[in-house]
Amino acid sequence: MGIRFILLVNKQGQTRLAQYYEYMTLEECRALEGEIVRKCLTRTDQQCSFVEHRNYKVVYRRYASLFFMVGVDNDENELAILEFIHLLVETMDRHFGNVCELDIMFHLEKAHFMLEEMVMNGCIVETSKANILHPIQLMDKAS
């Protein structure tokens, strides 16, 4: 049970954020991103949010032009991950105020800091938005 990777990809298939929790070579990452993006982007809203890929699952959610995709082991609780994506988005919203693709592009480091507070070693560490954002706020104050 665990998260293998978190990917943010836009409608054109461009990766906006990628965080892997198990080691993969660059080629493997590229191949995987290509395959998953192809699979998920062609799906309609009437289809479910889970895509089975190789020996794991991708749980994904679309927000405007951005797809949030999380690769999980087959026995992971899918809905919990689906809402975890939403928690991530809400956390970003709280920080950026209605987050958009550009926010994530130009503040990649912030997005990474948030993820780092939320997930570690493929496990969820923190689900309180205040706690997640605390270190970032400290830093913003300092600078």
Partner 1 sequence: MAHSGMRGLSVFISDIRNCRNKELERIRVDKELGHIRTRFKSEKGLSFYEKKKYVWKVLYIYMLGYDVDFGHMETLSLISAPKYGEKQVGYIATSCLLNENCDFLRIVINSVRNDIIGRNETFQCLALTLVGNIGGRDFAESLAPDVQKLLISSSCRPIVRKKAALCLLRLYRKNPDIINIDGWSDTMAQLLDERDFGVLTSVMSLLVSLVSNNTDAYWNCIPKCVKILERLARNQDIPQDYTYYGIPCPWLQVKIMRALQYFPTIEDPNTLKSLLEVLQRIMMGTDVVKNINKNNASHAVLFEALALAMHLDAEKDIMSQCVALLGKFIAVREPNIRYLGLENMTRILLVTDVHDVIKKHQTQIITNLKDPDISIRRRALDLLYGMCDVTNAKDIVEELLQYLNEADFAMREELALKVAILAEKFAPDLSWYVDVVLQLIDKAGDFVSDDIWHRVVQFVTNNEDLQPYAAAKAKEYLNKHVLHETMVKVSAYLLGEHGHLLSRRPGCSPKEIFAIINEKLPTVSTETIAIILSTYAKILTHTQPPEPELQDQIWSIFKKYEGYINVEIQQRAVEYLALSKKGVSLTDILAEMPKFPERKSALLKKTEDTESDTAEQSALRLRTQQKASDALVVTDQRTANGEIKAGQLSPVKLPNQNMNVNSEEQTTTNGALDTVDLDPTLSTDLIGDLLAIEGPPSISVPTEQTPVSGLDQETDLIGALALSTVDEQSNSIKPIGDIEEWFQALCIKDSGVLYEDIYIQIGLKADWRAHQGRIILFIGNKSTSSLTSVQALVLPPSYLKMDLSLLPSTIPPRAQVQCCLDVINICPSRDTSVLDFSYRYGSVMIEAKLRLPVVLNKFLQPISISPDDFFSQWKSLSEPPLKVQEVVKGVKTLSLPEMARLLSSVQLRVTPGLDTNPNNLVASSTFHSESIHAMLCLLRIETDPSDRTQIRMTVASGDPTLTFELKEFIKEKLIIIPNARPVPSPTSLQTQNPVLPAASNDDPGAMLAGLL
Q: Which residues bind partner 1 (CB under 8 A)?
A: 1-2, 15, 17-21, 23, 26, 29-30, 33, 43-44, 46-52, 55, 73-75, 77-80, 82-84, 86-87, 105-110, 112-113, 116, 120-131, 134-135, 138-139, 142-143
Whose Cβ is closer to partner 1: residue 26's or residue 98's? 26
CA dist 34 and 15 (Å) reads: 10
Structure tokens at 55: 């020996």
In the complex, the smallest distance separating the C-beta of residue 113 from partner 1, rounded to whole angstroms, is 7
CA dist 13 and 62 (Å) reads: 13
φ and ψ at residue 127, rounded to 5 degrees: -125, 5
In the complex, the smallest distance separating the C-beta of residue 101 from partner 1, rounded to whole angstroms, is 10
CA dist 72 and 50 (Å) reads: 10
CA dist 44 and 67 (Å) reads: 13
In the complex, the smallest distance separating the C-beta of residue 140 from partner 1, rounded to whole angstroms, is 10
In the complex, the smallest distance separating the C-beta of residue 141 from partner 1, rounded to whole angstroms, is 12
Whose Cβ is closer to partner 1: residue 64's or residue 108's? 108
Whose Cβ is closer to partner 1: residue 41's or residue 87's? 87
The DSSP line for 19-34 is: EESS---HHHHHHHHH
